[in-house]
Amino acid sequence: MGPGLYRYRGAQVVSEPSEESSTPAEAPKPGHEPLDWIAEIRGLAWMLLAVLGFHSLVAKPFYIPSISMMPNLLVGDRLVVSKFPYGWNWASASFHVLPRKTWRVMPGTPQYGDIVIVVPRGRTDDLIKRVVALPGDRIAVRNGQIVLNGKPIPRLVVPPVQLPADDALLCHERTPGYYCYEDFTA
């Protein structure tokens, strides 16, 4: 040990210089420990794998960009959708390296009125839709009215509204015969 002063359990000890140590050993600067790049890269790889696994197998966040699901889902709403209620399939993966397949693991059947995420064939974007028919149902659209198994599905009736002087009511046709109204303040 070289010359110096150090504390040991509250007592000060002074050592004498020895002939062996002519230069003091360089101590690392406090707070500047060498960075282990391999450990950092390994940690980032595990983090990326965990995020992709969660995103592909457990849940996925979504943003509502349009008014097609109003009044239940509004423009700008954010939601986290569970991946497993109806089973995992090709569309569950966060990214696709294999061609589209029709397999499904632990399949489940949605119920009437469920809101589901679908990826139409030939497209890559996700669509948020409501289930109106199940396997085996007969469905038709007559005069803009959905008819399920011979019975019309009731429509949402918008009650009469008196608009203030500075408001405007805009309408657009989502599905033939179905109209969506939005209230805009001028």
What residues does 39 pair with on adjacent strands?
Answer: none
Average pLDDT over residues 132-136: 84
Tens of pLDDT, residues 36-62 = 889 999 999 999 999 988 887 788 888
Q: Is 144 left (phi over 0), alpha (psi -120 to 50) or beta?
A: left
Average pLDDT over residues 4-12: 54
Quote the pLDDT of residue 161: 65
Q: Give yes or no for residue 168 having a pLDDT over 50.
A: yes
Q: Give yes or no for residue 184 having a pLDDT over 60.
A: no
Quote the pLDDT of residue 86: 78
Q: Is 60 among the catalytic positions? A: no
Each domain of the chain, given as residue ranges in start order, spans 38-104
- Out of 18, 66, 94, 129, the active site residue is 129
Q: Give yes or no for residue 186 having a pLDDT over 70.
A: no
- Out of 21, 60, 68, 92, the active site residue is 68
Q: Could you give the 3-state DSSP secondary structure of residue 50?
A: helix
- Tell me phi and psi for residue 67, to 5 degrees: -95, 15
Quote the pLDDT of residue 167: 63
Tell me the pLDDT band of 27, cut-offs 50, 70 and 90: low
Quote the pLDDT of residue 19: 59
CB–CB of 129/116 below 8 Å? yes
Quote the pLDDT of residue 116: 83
